[in-house]
Amino acid sequence: MEIITAVRGFKDILPGEAVKWHFVEQTARTIFSSFGFREIRLPLLEKTELFKRGIGEATDIVEKEMYTFLDKGDEYLTMRPEATAGVIRAYIEHSLFAADPVVKLFTMGPMFRRERPQKGRYRQFHQIDAEVLGSDDPQTDAELIFMLVHLLHTLGLMSLKLEINSLGCRDCRPAFRTAITEFLSGKEGELCGDCQRRLHTNPLRVFDCKVKECQQVLASAPRLLDFLCDACRDHFEEVQGTLTLYGTPFSVNSRMVRGLDYYTRTTFELTTESLGAQNAVVGGGRFDGLVKDLGGPEIAGIGFAIGMERLVSMLALADDGLDQRPLLYIAALGDGAKKKSGLICNRLRIKGIYAEIDYSGKSLKSQMKRADKLGCRYTLIVGDREMDEQIAELRDMRSSSQIKISFDKIEDYVINIAKEN
Residues that bind ligand AMP (CB under 6 A): 82, 113, 115, 121-122, 125, 127, 259, 280-283, 305, 307, 309-310
Q: How far apart are CA 356 and CA 379, in angstroms?
A: 9
* Nearest one of 305, 285, 271, 250 to 168, comparing CA atoms: 285
**What are the beta bridge partners of residue 332?**
382
The distance of closest approach from Cβ of residue 65 to ligand AMP in the complex, given in angstroms and rounded to an integer, is 8
Output phi, psi for 362, to 5 deg.
Answer: -75, 170
Nearer to ligand AMP, 153 or 404 (CB): 153
Smallest separation (angstroms) from ligand AMP to the CB of 27: 17
**Cβ-proximal residues to 33 (8 Å cutoff; 6+ apart), any chain:** none
> What is the 8-class DSSP label of residue 334?
S
Q: Which residue is nearest to ligand AMP (CB)?
A: 307
Nearest approach, Cβ of 146 to ligand AMP (angstroms)?
19
Q: How far is the CB of 207 from ligand AMP (least distance, A)?
A: 14
Q: Which is nearer to ligand AMP, 24 or 330 (CB)?
A: 24
How many C-beta atoms lie closer than 10 Å to residue 358's C-beta?
Answer: 16
17: left (phi over 0), alpha (psi -120 to 50) or beta: alpha
Least separation in angstroms between CB 283 and ligand AMP: 3
> In this complex, which beta carbon is closest to ligand AMP, that of residue 148 or of residue 380?
148
Question: What is the rounded distance in angstroms from the CA atom of residue 234 to the CA atom of residue 281?
Answer: 28
Nearer to ligand AMP by Cβ, of 61 and 348: the residue is 61
Grouping H, G, I as helix, E, B as strand and the rest as coil, residue 342 is helix
Q: How deeply is 115 buried, as exposed, middle or buried, from its count of CB atoms within 10 A (0-12, 13-18, 19+)?
A: middle
Q: Return the number of the residue (11 or 377) whose C-beta is nearest ligand AMP.
A: 11
* Of residues 311 and 394, the one with the C-beta less far from ligand AMP: 311
Smallest distance, ligand AMP to C-beta of residue 64, A: 13
> Which residue, 121 or 187, has its beta carbon nearer to ligand AMP?
121
- Classify the C-alpha dihedral 163-155-29-85 as positive or negative: positive
Return d(Cα 368, Cα 389) in angstroms, integer. Answer: 22
Give the residue with the Cβ less far from ligand AMP, 129 or 386: 129
Nearer to ligand AMP by C-beta: 122 or 207?
Answer: 122
Cα end-to-end span (Å), the chain: 47
Instruction: Choose among 142, 198, 147, 166: nearest CA to 29.
Output: 147
At its nearest, how many Å lie between ligand AMP and the CB of residue 304?
8
Q: Whole-number minimum distance, CB 269 to ligand AMP, in Å?
A: 7
Tell me the C-alpha to C-alpha distance, in Å, between residue 416 and each of 213, 396, 401, 419.
Answer: 68, 14, 18, 5
Distance of closest approach, residue 112 Cβ to ligand AMP, in angstroms: 9
